[in-house]
Structures are given as C-alpha cells and as structure tokens.
C-alpha cells in the first residue's frame, strides 16, 4: 500500500498507534542511539546527538524529524515523552518550541 504525503501530525498519529500496540518495542527503538559518521552528523535536517565520548550518534526520531526539517533553533517538530513506567506507551506530539 502506498501512502500519501505525510505531515508531522500523520507521523505522530502513527508513532502513537505503534507505541500503544507495543510500548516496550517502541520505547526501545526510539530510545536507542547508534554511532554514525560525520557526513550523516552534518546532514542539514537529520538530528544527530553526541555520545558521552564525543562521537556522533543518531536515533530514529532524529531521522523522522529530518523528513520535516528543523527550525532556526535546531528543534525538530516531533518530540517523544517517555513515562517513568516502561510498560506505558511513549507519547509523541508536536514540539511546542518548534518555530516555523
């Protein structure tokens, strides 16, 4: 099945649905960061963090935000809130600090 053009709201709805269906899997997937190279770290819209040892690392939410771009303060439009209870779903929403 081919999907239509995707908005941040569409991505958030799908992420929340997936998180409700399998909270542990989505928490693990979204919480995981993997080492990446400097060309990916230098991508203009993909959010890449820095590990404790100073190397770039990327997660799936950084890739998803890369689809929609970053604001002037380098915020992504989609954010994740992790509840304390790992069996509870991660909640995804629009970033209130995102400036269009």
Reference 48, options 38, 39, 57; nearest CA is 57
> Residue 81 has what pLDDT?
97
* Model confidence pLDDT, tens digit, residues 34-90: 999 999 999 999 999 999 999 999 999 999 999 999 999 989 999 999 999 989 999
DSSP state of 70: B
Percent of the chain as helix, strand, coil, to the nearest 5: 35, 20, 45
Does pLDDT of 92 surpass 70?
yes
> Residue 100 has what pLDDT?
76
> Residue 1 has what pLDDT?
67
The span from the CA of 95 to the CA of 2, in Å, is 27
| Mean pLDDT of the region 18-29 | 97
Q: Where exactly are the structural domains of the chain? A: 8-94
pTM of the model: 0.89
């Amino acid at each position: 099945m081919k999907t239509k053009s995707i908005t941040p709201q569409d991505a958030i709805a799908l992420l929340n649905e997936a998180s409700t269906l399998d909270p542990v899997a989505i928490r693990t997937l979204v919480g995981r960061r993997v080492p990446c190279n400097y060309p990916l770290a230098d991508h203009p819209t993909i959010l890449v963090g820095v590990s404790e040892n100073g190397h770039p690392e990327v997660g799936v939410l950084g890739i998803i935000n890369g689809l929609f771009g970053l604001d002037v303060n380098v915020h992504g439009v989609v954010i994740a809130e992790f509840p304390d209870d790992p069996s509870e779903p991660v909640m995804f929403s629009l970033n209130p600090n995102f400036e269009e």
